[in-house]
Amino acid sequence: MVRAGLRMVVESDPGMEVVGEAADGREAVAVARRTRPDIVLMDISMPRLDGLAAARELLAVPSPPKVITLTTFDTDENLHAALRAGTSGFLLKVSPPEQLIEAIRVVHAGDALLDPAVTRRVIASFAGRAEPRPSPALAELTPRELEVLRLLARGRTNAEIARELYVGEATVKTHVARVLMKLSLRDRAQAVVFAYETGVVSPGAA
């Protein structure tokens, strides 16, 4: 029923097509490798191979699809595991259909998306963690790139960053791309985790 519902939601958008379905993680990996989709909607809880392990397998190959994880459990453990697996989005199954469609669009465009409720959990979860661990890779960033990373980690969109820094949105996109490249990060979701773990930003910062 869940897969049928997801198919109906996705195919309600004329620009999207469902090219495959799978009942478990192992089948999901096989179907994705055969059909080579742009986006994979991956349930975290699945038999044979869980969604996080399946995502890691898919993302370990050249030119992988982008993965959006779906779960009924918005626990910190699931969230951090999904982000570290390299997924580009994290949505709760109770999210409205239009939010799922928007998530697919955002992730396909190269950004990362977290459920708004989950974004707050990401920030809050770092409050009780150990001291941040500075990374030598930060020395590779220019002052402007470091500023962009701070704003990105606070949940700002490219348009919002552009307004705050009085630059064009295309310039922000270039800065974000360079930050990800220099830090060897997959996408914005990974950048958020990196920024908090290395002390670039701290919970409660505006």
Q: Does residue 129 surpass a pLDDT of 90?
A: no
Counting Cα atoms < 13 Å in the Cβ hemisphere of 69 gives: 33
Name beta bridge partners: 176. none
Report the pLDDT value the prediction gives residue 39, as an integer from 0 to 100.
94
Q: Does residue 143 surpass a pLDDT of 80?
A: yes
CA angle at 43 for the pair 14 and 64, rounded to the nearest 5°: 70
pLDDT digits (tens, 9 = 90+) for 163-176: 999 999 999 999 99
For 2, counting Cβ atoms within 10 Å of its Cβ (0-12 exposed, 13-18 middle, 19+ buried), the class is exposed
Domains, the chain, in order of start with CATH, read 1-114 (3.40.50.2300), 136-198 (1.10.10.10)
35-39, 41-45, 160-164, 191-195: lowest mean pLDDT where? 191-195
Q: Does residue 40 surpass a pLDDT of 90?
A: yes
Report the pLDDT value the prediction gives residue 83, as an integer from 0 to 100.
73
For 63, counting Cβ atoms within 10 Å of its Cβ (0-12 exposed, 13-18 middle, 19+ buried), the class is exposed
pTM for this entry: 0.69
**Residue pair 17/11 in contact by the 8 Å Cβ criterion:** yes
CA-only gyration radius of the chain, Å:
17
Which residue type occupies 149?
A: L
Report the pLDDT value the prediction gives residue 47, as an integer from 0 to 100.
86
Q: How far apart are CA 162 and CA 44, in angstroms?
A: 35
pLDDT digits (tens, 9 = 90+) for 46-87: 888 988 899 989 988 888 898 998 877 656 666 777 777 778
**Residue pair 157/109 in contact by the 8 Å Cβ criterion:** no
pLDDT digits (tens, 9 = 90+) for 61-71: 888 898 998 87
pLDDT digits (tens, 9 = 90+) for 175-187: 999 999 999 887 7
CA angle at 20 for the pair 113 and 49, rounded to the nearest 5°: 75
**Residue pair 89/113 in contact by the 8 Å Cβ criterion:** yes
**Residue pair 63/30 in contact by the 8 Å Cβ criterion:** no
Q: Kindly list the distances between the CA atom of residue 118 and the CA atoms of 39, 59, 75, 123, 183, in Å, as whole numbers in the listed order.
A: 20, 22, 9, 9, 24
